[in-house]
Copies of this chain bind each other. A is one copy, B any other.
Amino acid sequence: MELIRRNGVELTLAGARVVLEAAVEHAQSLGLKMVVAVADSGGWLVALFRMDGAKLTSVDIAMNKAFTAAGTRKPTHEYAEIGGAGGAAFGIHASNQGRFTVFGGGVPIFVDGQCIGAVGCSGGSAEEDRMVAEAGIAALLRCA
């Protein structure tokens, strides 16, 4: 039996900054003011930018989206239906001290088939938040 595993891939601050730059640039091109948060594979914040004029309350939301996408290894929009009213996992949003986010904008980052972290965006629609997060990740994957 394998007691420890030695093939880990980790996100660095340098990598997180590439994500932030690209995400902020993409949000700007869409005329959006966002908070962009990058977490590691444990859901811990690595770096965060709040664009000028973005909502203050988006700070918490973006962090929670990154936390949720890292922790579940899934984009948060996949929880919109099952975690919503009448869904099979309704109420899951109260778990993890209320940090579990059930709407779009949190996207995990996969490298070599492994989740190395996640991006959480808040400030636009759930769909826009997701697109911006994906733009940030795409930039990282091009460079890494």
Which residues does A use to contact B, with CB under 8 Å? 1-15, 17-18, 24, 40-52, 55-57, 59-61, 64, 68, 70-74, 80, 83-86, 88-98, 100-104, 111-112, 116, 125-127, 140, 143-144
Contacts and interface: CB of A to CB of B under 8 A. Distances in A.
B12 A9 contact: no
Contact of A5 (B12, B18, B93): B12
Number of copies: 4
A95 B7 contact: no
20 contacts: A3-B11, A4-B9, A13-B51, A42-B42, A42-B44, A42-B56, A43-B57, A45-B50, A46-B49, A47-B48, A55-B71, A55-B72, A57-B68, A57-B71, A57-B95, A60-B97, A61-B92, A64-B95, A94-B94, A94-B100
A50 B117 CA distance: 14
